[in-house]
């Protein structure tokens, strides 16, 4: 003897006439003796009356949706959101060591040794190279400092990490990335773009940060040497 | 401008890649195949109020667009889209009390543009509005199961997939939803 729950799950098919012979018979026999299920059957007929299977959105729907999406896209881009999210998040460690370059600013800290020089990169442009010694597993705040003579927009930024480095953030999606790219603006004067990285594995690892505007590329490389390797007398090249 | 390599052009799904980079047309192309079904879901959840359903679905789709980076390509895009829209529709309608999605007065009055016609047609339309009004009085979980199975005629398996639950859970939730609906029909007998 089937329970009401089993019978009620078959009522739609029973109404459509799609139940096999013995199933239909079982349902009908139950309905003949169960007022509760007969009531459900009546109500199912009401529900099928209100079917929305053929309803379509109003004619204005696509146009209105497009306007709202376009507005959303203008005020925001996925890559910019990631970068923006990042910049709004404070670095994880209260005792983060700040490394600034581009202006050749050295910020001292208990664990840090730093030097800065320029070197040629493949395309003939100049890259600033900064070296710092950090502790494995501890987040380090890096501040990209760009100076501009005027307001400029559509600057292409990217930050690339070597395998032993990770972006230090609570956003798991960004933490899994090795390359972060976005378009942004630079204001006239000094612009700071902070981000945090962690040396996940002892060794010598490079953060490469680039800003490209039209044909000009500005590149900074930050060589991070983990503290463990300093103690083991590993020399920074 | 290259994109961080969580989901790249090399995946073969160029539309998703473009949408993740803020391409509105690409997102619209991804959504077009699903928008009628999503609208019907929003309509069922709103108690049949087309204006509310249209506005809620647009709001939910904008949210999906803004959060498309959460689609990691490990399931079908349609699965991800349904889950996001469903969550957003629930959130939007949670801000409204069930009875206010469609008011009882709206249910009993004829629309302004209703042509005088055979009384059974008018009666039929009234009954439809009454049914949708009562469905809107169900809790969100019961409302969505009745919407998907009884109003949109999805199978148990399709419903399970859309909601991310087992077929067994669909059956038991549907049983409770229909029971509750029956009690509402009894309570509001005068509507029928």
Mean pLDDT (whole number) for B112-123: 67
CA distance A227 to A97: 13
Task: Closest CB to B65: pick one of A39, A60, A72.
Answer: A72
pLDDT of residue B54: 93
CATH 1.10.10.10 domain range(s) in chain B: 102-191
pLDDT of residue B149: 92
CA distance A40 to A34: 10
Q: Count residue pairs from A and B with Cβ separation < 8 A.
A: 140
What average pLDDT does chain B have? 81
Top pLDDT among A95 and A5 is at: A5
Q: Which chain A residues touch B1 with a CB distance below 8 Å?
A: 79, 156, 181, 183
Q: pTM (2 decimals)?
A: 0.57
Q: Mutate one of A14, A41, A57 to test the B interface: name it (highest B CB count within 10 A).
A: A57
What φ, ψ does residue A16 adopt, rounded to 5°? -80, -10
pLDDT of residue A4: 86
When the candidates are 1.50.10.100, 3.40.50.920, 3.50.50.60, 1.10.10.10, the CATH number that belongs to B102-191 is 1.10.10.10
Highest mean pLDDT among A69-73, A104-108, B116-120: A69-73
Q: Give the single-character DSSP code of B10.
A: G
Report ipTM for this prediction. Answer: 0.82
Q: Which residues of B25-60 are buried (b: 16+ CB within 10 A; e: fewer)?
A: ebbbebbeebbebbbbbbbbbbbbbeebbbbbbbbb
Residue with tokens 């309608």: B93
pLDDT of residue B116: 57
| CA torsion angle A62 A67 A70 A75 (round to 10) | -140
Q: Do A57 and B54 touch (CB under 8 A)?
A: yes
Q: Looking at A5-9, A187-191, B134-138, B175-179, which range is the least confident one? A: A187-191
Q: CB of B179 within 8 A of CB of B172?
A: no
Q: Which chain B residues touch A183 with a CB distance below 8 Å?
A: 1
Q: Do B4 and A50 touch (CB under 8 A)?
A: no
Q: CB of A133 within 8 A of CB of A162?
A: no
Q: Which chain B residues touch A67 with a CB distance below 8 Å?
A: none
Q: Looking at A43-57, A140-154, B21-35, which range is the least confident one? A: A140-154
What is the band of A84 on the pLDDT scale with cuts at 50, 70, 90? very low
B9-94 placed in CATH 3.40.50.150: no
Top pLDDT among A90 and B124 is at: B124
What share of chain A in percent tops pLDDT 90?
Answer: 8
CA distance A77 to B6: 16
Q: Which chain A residues touch B128 with a CB distance below 8 Å?
A: 49-50
CA distance B103 to B86: 23
Q: CB of A58 within 8 A of CB of A108?
A: no
pLDDT of residue A48: 86
Name the 3-class secondary structure at A188: coil
What does the pLDDT look like over A106-133, one tens digit per residue? Answer: 222 222 333 344 333 333 334 566 778 8
Q: Looking at A76-90, B148-162, B168-182, which range is the least confident one? A: A76-90
Q: Which chain B residues touch A59 with a CB distance below 8 Å?
A: none
DSSP per residue over A29-74, as a string? HHHHH-HHHHHHHHHHHHHHHT--TT----TTHHHHHHHHHHHHHH
CATH 1.10.1740.10 domain range(s) in chain B: 9-94
Per-residue tokens: B58: 């647009």
Q: Do A65 and B28 touch (CB under 8 A)?
A: yes
Top pLDDT among B87 and A215 is at: B87
What does the pLDDT look like over A26-56, one tens digit per residue? Answer: 899 999 999 988 888 888 888 888 888 889 9
Name the 3-class secondary structure at B79: helix
Whether A68 shows a pLDDT value over 60: the answer reads yes
What does the pLDDT look like over B54-110, one tens digit per residue? Answer: 999 999 999 999 888 788 777 788 889 999 999 999 888 877 655 455 555 555 555
pLDDT of residue A93: 23
What is the band of A198 on the pLDDT scale with cuts at 50, 70, 90? confident
Q: Tell me the sheet residues that pair with A160.
A: A179, A208
Mean pLDDT (whole number) for A173-195: 77
Whether B40 shows a pLDDT value over 90: the answer reads yes
Residue of A nearest to B19 (CA): A78
List of domains in chain A = 4-49 (no CATH), 78-231 (2.60.40.10)
Whether A190 shows a pLDDT value over 80: the answer reads no
């Amino acid at each position: 003897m089937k329970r009401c729950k089993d019978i009620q799950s078959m009522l739609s098919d029973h109404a459509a006439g799609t139940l096999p012979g013995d199933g239909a018979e079982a349902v009908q026999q139950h309905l003949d003796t169960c007022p509760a299920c007969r009531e459900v059957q009546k109500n199912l007929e009401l529900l099928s009356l209100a079917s929305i299977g053929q309803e379509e959105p109003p004619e204005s729907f696509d146009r209105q949706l497009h306007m709202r999406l376009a507005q959303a896209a203008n005020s925001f881009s996925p890559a910019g959101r990631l970068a923006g999210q990042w910049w709004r998040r404070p670095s994880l460690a209260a005792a983060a060591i700040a490394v600034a370059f581009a202006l050749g600013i050295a910020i001292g800290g208990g664990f840090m040794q730093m030097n800065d020089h320029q070197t040629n990169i493949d395309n003939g442009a100049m890259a600033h190279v900064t070296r710092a010694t950090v502790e494995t597993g501890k987040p380090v705040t890096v501040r990209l400092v760009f100076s501009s003579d005027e307001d400029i927009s559509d600057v292409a930024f990217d930050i690339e990490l070597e395998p032993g480095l990770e972006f230090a953030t609570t956003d798991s999606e960004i933490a899994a990335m090795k390359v972060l790219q976005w378009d942004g603006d630079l204001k006239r004067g000094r612009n700071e773009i902070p981000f945090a990285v962690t040396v996940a594995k002892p060794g010598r690892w490079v953060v490469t940060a680039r800003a490209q505007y039209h044909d000009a590329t500005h590149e900074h490389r930050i060589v991070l040497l983990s503290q463990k390797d300093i103690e083991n007398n590993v020399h920074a090249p | 401008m290259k994109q961080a390599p969580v989901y790249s052009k090399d995946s073969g799904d160029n539309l998703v890649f473009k949408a993740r980079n803020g391409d509105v047309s690409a997102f619209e192309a991804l959504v077009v195949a699903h928008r009628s079904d999503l609208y019907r879901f929003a309509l069922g959840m709103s108690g049949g109020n087309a204006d509310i359903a249209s506005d809620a679905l647009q709001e939910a789709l904008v949210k999906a667009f803004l959060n498309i980076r959460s689609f990691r390509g490990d399931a079908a895009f349609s699965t991800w889209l349904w889950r996001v829209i469903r969550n957003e529709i629930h959130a939007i309608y949670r801000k409204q009390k069930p009875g206010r999605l469609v008011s009882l007065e709206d249910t009993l009055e004829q629309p302004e543009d209703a042509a005088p016609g055979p009384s059974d047609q008018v009666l039929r339309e009234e009954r439809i509005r009454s049914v949708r009004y009562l469905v809107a009085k169900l809790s969100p979980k019961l409302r969505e199961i009745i919407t998907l199975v009884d109003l949109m005629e999805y199978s148990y398996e399709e419903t399970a997939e859309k909601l991310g639950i087992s077929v067994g859970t669909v059956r038991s939730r549907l049983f409770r939803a229909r029971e509750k609906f029956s009690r509402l029909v009894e309570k509001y007998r005068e509507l029928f």
